[in-house]
């Protein structure tokens, strides 16, 4: 959901298994398969715990339990979900909230471009997914499932298991966590008392942290943050994020033109 | 709120699905790869800045800043995601209970 610690740490090395059967639905498999399932589960638990905070801050931002749950069920990409409620929380318009969420979700499209070439139907190596199965794979195309699939990329059977096991694990636990957090926060009179408005920027920071890998990333982040704050007094709520990030991205692309 | 939730969700799914339908050769375009690398960083940083320092009343330094500062320390210590978020919320809550922010 969020390229947070869970997704990043899952991208390590992995070895492939070759037993039959879909990874989650059936209990078959030797040690490598067990490794996939336990890793998928631990990633799901970590993101599910994070979803509790998403559910809670959604309520603090003014959504109801159903709307928070709908985001986790249908949007199902954590950074975008957080961006949506973050813009709503600061009084930004709904169109801007949707646009910000969409831009943050663009990377999922890039994951899909690559996953489409490595995810194969069971028992038919070399072919691509089609129809409903492809739509399901698209819905599950998030940071964590992509990282796990790529960690097992050497073996198409293990790739498929890793992707679906992680996708299901995160989907179920992410939605369960959202429900718990939303119901919990909805029972409070004023979520600000619990500091939930501070949980929103902390969530963004935790999502940003693993991406700050070098000085140019830090410079980009600093420029974007400063630009957004500088534009905030003159633009309508929500727009400073898009404008600040847009300017910073344009500058970064211009500065890195021609480099590989 | 509901239309925005549904439209934004549809947009997110359409993006993912388009990725699975379009040819992988798009990834070989230099601009696409570089934009994909920098866009999340810029957006998350802008969201972080606004959510930390901006409120409906304008620029403000309140309990949220302390919460984010605690989050920075915990991230440096490699604390898990949920711990970071909960500690930030708890910090802000305690400061408010003490009458600040």
Our CA-based measurement puts residue A34 at a distance from the nearest CA of chain B, in whole angstroms, of 24
Our CA-based measurement puts residue A91 at a distance from the nearest CA of chain B, in whole angstroms, of 7
* Pairwise pLDDT comparison (A258 vs A121), residue with the higher score: A121
* Contact assignment for B49 to A244 by CB distance below 8 Å: yes
Does one domain contain both A221 and A174?
A: no
* Contact assignment for A112 to B91 by CB distance below 8 Å: no
Does one domain contain both A113 and A203?
A: yes
DSSP of B3-42: HHHHHHHHHHHHHHHHHHHS-GGGGG-HHHHHHHHHHHHH
Which chain B residues are Cβ-neighbours of A188 within 8 angstroms? none
Q: What angle do CA A244, B32, A260 make, to 5 degrees?
A: 100
Does one domain contain both A77 and A183?
A: yes
Does one domain contain both A47 and A110?
A: yes
Does one domain contain both A118 and A231?
A: no
The confidence score (pLDDT) of residue A191 equals 67
Does one domain contain both A117 and A246?
A: no
Final residue before a domain boundary, out of A195, A211, A227: A211
Does one domain contain both A226 and A169?
A: no
Sequence ranges of the domains in chain B: 1-54, 61-101
Write the burial class of residue B52 (CB in 10 Å: 0-12 exposed, 13-18 middle, 19+ buried): buried
Does one domain contain both A192 and A247?
A: no
| Residue B83 pLDDT level (bands cut at 50, 70, 90) | confident
Does one domain contain both A169 and A94?
A: yes
Average pLDDT (B47-69) is 91
Does one domain contain both A55 and A141?
A: yes
Which chain A residues are Cβ-neighbours of B47 within 8 angstroms? 82-83, 86-87, 100, 201, 204, 228, 241
Does one domain contain both A149 and A220?
A: no
- pLDDT tens track for A8-29: 333 333 333 333 333 333 333 3
Does one domain contain both A133 and A31?
A: yes
* Contact assignment for B43 to A100 by CB distance below 8 Å: yes
How many structural domains comprise chain A? 2
What is the DSSP code (8-state) at residue B58? Answer: E
| Residue A82 pLDDT level (bands cut at 50, 70, 90) | very high
- The mean of the pLDDT values for chain A is 84
The confidence score (pLDDT) of residue A13 equals 33
Our CA-based measurement puts residue B94 at a distance from the nearest CA of chain A, in whole angstroms, of 8
Structural domain range at position A198? 5-211
Is B57's pLDDT higher than 90? no
- pLDDT tens track for A186-230: 888 776 677 888 888 998 898 899 889 999 999 999 999 999 999
Comparing alpha-carbon positions, the chain A residue that sits nearest to B26 is A113
Final residue before a domain boundary, out of A170, A189, A211: A211
What number of H helices and E strands is found in chain A? 11, 0
Query: Given A76, A116, A220, which is nearest B19 (Cβ)?
Result: A116
């Amino acid at each position: 959901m969020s390229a947070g610690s869970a997704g990043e740490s899952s991208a390590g090395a992995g070895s492939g298994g070759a037993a039959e059967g879909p990874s989650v639905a059936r209990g078959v498999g030797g040690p490598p398969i067990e490794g996939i399932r336990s890793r998928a589960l631990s990633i799901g638990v970590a993101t599910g715990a994070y979803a509790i905070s998403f559910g809670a801050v959604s309520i603090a931002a003014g959504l109801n339990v159903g709307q928070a749950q709908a985001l986790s069920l249908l949007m199902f990409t954590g950074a975008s979900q957080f961006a949506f409620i973050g813009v709503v929380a600061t009084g930004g318009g709904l169109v801007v909230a949707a646009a910000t969420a969409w831009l943050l979700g663009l990377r999922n499209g890039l994951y899909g471009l690559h996953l489409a070439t490595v995810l194969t139907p069971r028992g038919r190596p070399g072919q691509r997914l089609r129809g409903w199965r492809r739509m399901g794979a698209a819905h599950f195309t998030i940071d964590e499932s992509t990282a796990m699939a790529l960690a097992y990329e050497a073996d198409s059977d293990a790739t498929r298991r890793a992707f679906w096991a992680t996708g299901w694990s995160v989907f179920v636990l992410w939605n369960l966590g959202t429900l718990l957090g939303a119901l919990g926060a909805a029972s409070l009179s004023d979520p600000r008392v619990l500091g939930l408005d501070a949980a929103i920027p902390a969530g963004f920071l935790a999502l940003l942290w693993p991406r700050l890998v070098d000085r140019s990333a830090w410079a980009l982040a600093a420029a974007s943050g400063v630009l957004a704050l500088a534009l905030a007094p003159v633009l309508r709520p929500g727009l400073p994020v898009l404008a600040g990030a847009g300017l910073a991205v344009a500058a970064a692309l211009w500065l890195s033109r021609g480099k590989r | 709120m509901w239309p925005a939730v549904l439209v934004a969700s549809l947009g997110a799914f359409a993006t993912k699905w388009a990725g699975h339908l379009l040819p992988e050769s798009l990834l070989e375009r230099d601009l696409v790869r570089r934009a994909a690398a920098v866009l999340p960083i810029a957006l998350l940083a802008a969201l972080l800045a606004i959510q930390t320092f901006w409120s409906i009343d304008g620029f403000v330094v309140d309990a949220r800043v302390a919460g984010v500062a605690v989050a920075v320390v915990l991230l440096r210590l490699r604390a898990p995601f949920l711990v970071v978020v909960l500690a930030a919320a708890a910090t802000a809550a305690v400061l408010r209970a003490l009458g600040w922010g």
